[in-house]
Structure 1
């Protein structure tokens, strides 16, 4: 008989929970499911840290549990659900329960999950607090032998899992909002890199027989949970990938329970999964799926070729992948590490020798027998330094997107040696653009076997250099490096110049440049929206809604002491220039009634046009120009205080004509202000940097009008997505795409001094890219 404590640990797995508890499968849970006799049976998938927001006893703990599939026909639907525990129960749970334990929960409440769109779990959550809650814990150690444990090098198939059946979706049939299993051929990948949080992130792009490409982002705290991809052409099987819409295309993201298998894509090679999972299902149908994709990929000429190159085939100023052995390394400074590597072939160009103090060098160059043209010096920068520090001399590596640089006789970056003109050094630049990174090759890598064979051949013939086919590495997922995310719409015939040339030239001048967007201001989109008077050229911030509401309240307060009747808001049906304005009172705004700003906003959604007016000396006039002079649906129109000559308004209920905003402004005596964008962009190329304004042509650049953006959250989101594409949040500048821009340089006078300014014009974002 089980105890009645809120948390009861059951040592004998044969012990059953109280008979009065009725089990309810997690997929069947709804907001009306909570009842004292209902229970769920689930395993703990993830337990988050205990938090205490406001005091020693105000504990909160979140855990994710998954339906315990001990039934012959388990129910379909959301099997994992967030569970929130409160108070002392949360603290006891944190100290008692571990991931993998089996739970029976009773006395819970069911609420809406606020994170369903983010985590893809059950739309409800379970909430446990108070004396009616009972948690029966069956520790994982008492549930019998765990699944067969296998190493990451020789993974074994779990015989129990082998009974499972998984459905796989073709890439052409993917839909946003679903969690699916997929197979694909890798066309691009990035090694895992550390995010600003606790996770590592890796990205890949896959395709299948439907010729549809899918980008995927994998997040996990453990490196071993990421797909073990060695080169393009590898085949991956991804389980539990959440599909979501981003920039108009469906993309995949890892979710709870994500797992991956990777296979060599070479036809005829063993179908051996690469994974760190302790158990997984892999049967004849999976083997057939891998073989089918191998055969299909072998016949596709447009699939990206491998970028692997041996040193004997390297050409200056190219990017390539190098499979090599690390002989020695040295720390040059905090941001640079030197790796001395070889692959058994001799480079056709002389190699730069970066010399360092002998005591600073870890490892030995003895295997090269002093033949220095066999040894390539690789300078590893910034975010790759952490990985380089962990490398052991003698290990075998694949270095992705390595840059062959022709050095002059000057001292190389971070090095103390020198080389003659045309000597090659190799640099692994910062960032993860184009798949840049380092991977230690496992013992079962096919590339490693080829490398070892080549190195062993040097024992008999040091000049041996087995060449393999070389091809230029892709600079991006889909596009040629010369392409950009923007297109110039001008008819100028100038050649493209550098930013250094732009800054050294005398304005006025129009230039074509190829740059990256380092940053932009303001970062908040609403602050980039301005009001501009085409008459006096004044530029104003869009009034804050609280300021407008405050002005309305002031007007209501002022009207409270008036003895004469007055009307505050009106519905404009028609007007003609040269006549007094025709104003018809709203049905809801009768003699003596007043409207707040909030009421104006509500009424404008129903009425065609709303003009805020007030009583002044027995006549109606506009409220004032610190508030909108006209409301039309979600749009608001403002007037210039300097250029407007506001007229009195007369009632005329006989008018029938419709009027546009310009006509309304004219009869009211208002000079309307125009909505515009104003964004300062920090541009940079390899030679220099400068700030440029995006203003007059901003609407053409974003393909969105400023007035529409002010009234539409959807349009604002569209612009924000564009900016995120041009200047991705986080990461380094080299992760940012190239932009082709038309720049105008001009001078302005400020405080008696002439300043050179730059403006982006005649440029638009490619709509296929955002």
Structure 2
């Protein structure tokens, strides 16, 4: 299939097309039309990763929009375009968002998603047998790249080139990672991510990003990644400019590989991402590939040499604690190390992982010893995850295999410290390197299956200790099997209300087969949702502590009112305190004989309006607090203890901003007196993380937890949805509590996934990725299941 590129230096795009071709408009497209001698012109509004269908055929999908004036084409002028087979393979590697295409030799058919995505009622299809041609308009690349002067206006955020940075300013930047260190713990309580970035302005900037939560740091996995930093503070350190987080700092990372899917990586619960951002990422990728040194060729276990330092991309299949500062990781990358290497012996029962799987890969895995500060990171890794071990040292030592022969034996070591970028990075499964590695591993597993049946493998003497779940209370409830009525269409022809975002290579496994398999493992299922818990949407929102991994319910407004009333009834009558930190004032309630309400206003001359102020209140009801939060930016309930102010307890929120309530962990917090907490008077201190740290409070996160019961006609299976629930629903868990529209949206989604009045055979089919894990207590061991890498189809 010819894919032809036309350059702007040779003239206008359409002027370079064959003169015999006539242009088609969106209104001309219809299944009965003949596209011979005609072409459709459109910009690539969206493009999706290339996938493989069940019949082995490759598929690539793009959304084309007719050129219109304005910043971005409206959705109604867009049409879905589907490429099949060799056409998909070639176009999927080259076509990117923003490209201008002219396509010929296509057919039109009805679009199955038109009612959901609002696009053209028909879609264009390109297959090799119809001899299609795709013309791509390539504009000449320039050596300058001004993020603040894009060809298309960018609403919302302006990005500053690194050459224009000024000390003392707070800026937004888009740049390429030139060097980075995996997150490491500082001498204090924070974690740090050190990264050096560059952009086409030919300037580099070193940034030190600090956060008490390691997961909140930038999700950088390799040199060449693209980062977007919002609200980066520019400081001077040893005569050099340096970037540090400003108030409200946020980061988003993208794979820097040319042609990879533009998938944002961030721990932020809500972030903006526009069509213009995608265009910027694509432009930075092309600039980096043309102007920066290419990354070193990846080293695999089959090519590793003694006495080398290298970065290893691999999958974790087992782990064990060796001693208090040493951890063992069993990893593989689908290739075999050609040199003898050390096998580390550990105590019986210490190795975490699937016994049969570890034995199956016994000739392909290597043992990596992780030391000192990296041991804690290694301990937290989940078996089965993909990781990159940076600056892994291969040390050669002599091993006696007989009395006469000595042979070098390799040790794989990750030394302590952070020099030369040493560390362990968890890679998302959407990462381009992981996708390539996954294909290699799948082929190797198929090859191994031809030579060995894992069920017949002899015991290797490992205990196969199961992983502990994040929450032991998440134990599935058993039910009696329910036979599934027959359906009118084969399942493979029925549209799915959910889709998987990875693992498309995996075959679908029946729920009955899954119930008979050991854990931990990953599966792809297709089933119907029989029921879900809890039925009340508000009850699905929990408060989660990342430190002690505890879950607790969110109190409703009635409970909060009762808590505050009981507190006011038992509290000593508040009195005015004259503090250096704030000034106080008493508010009398009308027609009420209760205790007075005392307001404490923080003293800070830079806060000119109430909307910028933090207010503390003693003796108020929840309704009064909500009223104040409409006027003041942040409200903190307090109580007096002698001549000091303090936070009362953890049964109610410690901070209210608008309709959003923030809670602290009772177990992990160490309360500090509010007296002399001058950090609260800083203008940049209104971020909940800053306020919680100033008060000695460990902030709880809102998470959405549900138990879904699936039925595929062979068996029932309960699976939990919690740490990926926001991605699953495209909804922020915190907004479910504070935003009525978001809560109604979630209720509507659940009604469509599991219609309350419909029979089971009328429920939509769901395609999901689930993974199993073991739950152990002192007596029993139970296998639980969790949903991951799955999202609800838009308007499903």
TM-score in same-fold range (> 0.5) = no
The TM-score with structure 1 as length reference comes to: 0.36
The TM-score with structure 2 as length reference comes to: 0.35
